C-alpha cells in the first residue's frame, strides 16, 4: 500500500478513546490541560524531548508535536494563501510518529500544483486547519505555525513558490533558502535551489 494511502487511512480511521480522537500511532493521549503554545518536557518516560501543542481556534482539536520540527517553511502558492487567508502560509513539519492528533476532526483533500494529493485535518466547529499531509512529503505531517500561538517559534528556513509571492512581502534571514521553481517542474533529488542533493 502506498505511504500516502496508509497515512490517509490512519487519519481517516482515528479511534475514540475517553472522549478524544487519538491516531492509531499514538501510544497514549496527552493530558487535556496542554494548551496552544505550551512547550513541555515529556513526562514519565525519562525523555527530555520537548512537546509543542497546536490547537484550532476553539481549542478542541489539538496536534501534539514531539521534538523539534524537521522543517519550518513559508509557502506563497495560491492554495496556501487561500488556506491561511493571508498572503502566504507558514508551517512546520514533524515525522508522522512524532505527532498526535486529539479531538474531533474532518478531512478534506485536493490535488496540489505538484500533482500530489494533499489531505487536511480541520476542526468541524471553528474550521481551523490543524494538520495536513502531502503525498510528495512522505512520512511527515505539516502543522500551520499560527496554531501554536507561540511568537518564539523557530523561524522559517525555506520560502517556496516565490513566483506567486506578493510584491510587498519579503521573507528575511541569511539562512533562508528561496525558491521560485514550482514543485511540479522540479526533478527528483533537486534541492530548493535546483542543485542536485548529495
In the chain, which stretches have pLDDT less than 50?
Answer: 1-46, 186-198
Q: What is the pLDDT of residue 183?
A: 60
Parallel, antiparallel, or unpaired: how do β-strands 177-178 and 158-160 relate?
parallel
Distance CA 186, CA 80 (A): 19
Dump pLDDT digits (tens) for 131-149. Answer: 999 998 899 999 999 999 9
Q: CB of 132 within 8 A of CB of 121? A: yes
Q: What pLDDT does residue 6 have?
A: 37
- Domain ranges in the chain? 3-28+35-40+49-178
CATH class given for the domain over 3-28+35-40+49-178 = mainly beta
The answer to whether the predicted template modeling score (pTM) of the entire model surpasses 0.85 is no
Amino acid at each position: 500500500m502506498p505511504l500516502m494511502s496508509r497515512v490517509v487511512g490512519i487519519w481517516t480511521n482515528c479511534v475514540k478513546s475517553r472522549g478524544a480522537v487519538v491516531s492509531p500511532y499514538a501510544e497514549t493521549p496527552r493530558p487535556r490541560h496542554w494548551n496552544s503554545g505550551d512547550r513541555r518536557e515529556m513526562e514519565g518516560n525519562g525523555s527530555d524531548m520537548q512537546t509543542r501543542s497546536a490547537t484550532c481556534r476553539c481549542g478542541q482539536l489539538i496536534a501534539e508535536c514531539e521534538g523539534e520540527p524537521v522543517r519550518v517553511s513559508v509557502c506563497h502558492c495560491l492554495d496556501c494563501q487561500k488556506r491561511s487567508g493571508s498572503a502566504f502560509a507558514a508551517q512546520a513539519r514533524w515525522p508522522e510518529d512524532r505527532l498526535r492528533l486529539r479531538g474531533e476532526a474532518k478531512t478534506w483533500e485536493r490535488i496540489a500544483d505538484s500533482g500530489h494529493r494533499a489531505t487536511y485535518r480541520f476542526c468541524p466547529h471553528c474550521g481551523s486547519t490543524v494538520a495536513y499531509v502531502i503525498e510528495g512529503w512522505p512520512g511527515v505531517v505539516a502543522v500551520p505555525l499560527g496554531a501554536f500561538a507561540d511568537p518564539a517559534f523557530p523561524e522559517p528556513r525555506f520560502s517556496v513558490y516565490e513566483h506567486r509571492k506578493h510584491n510587498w512581502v519579503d521573507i528575511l534571514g541569511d539562512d533562508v533558502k528561496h525558491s521560485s521553481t514550482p514543485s511540479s517542474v522540479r526533478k527528483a533529488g533537486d534541492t530548493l535551489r535546483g542543485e542536485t542533493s548529495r
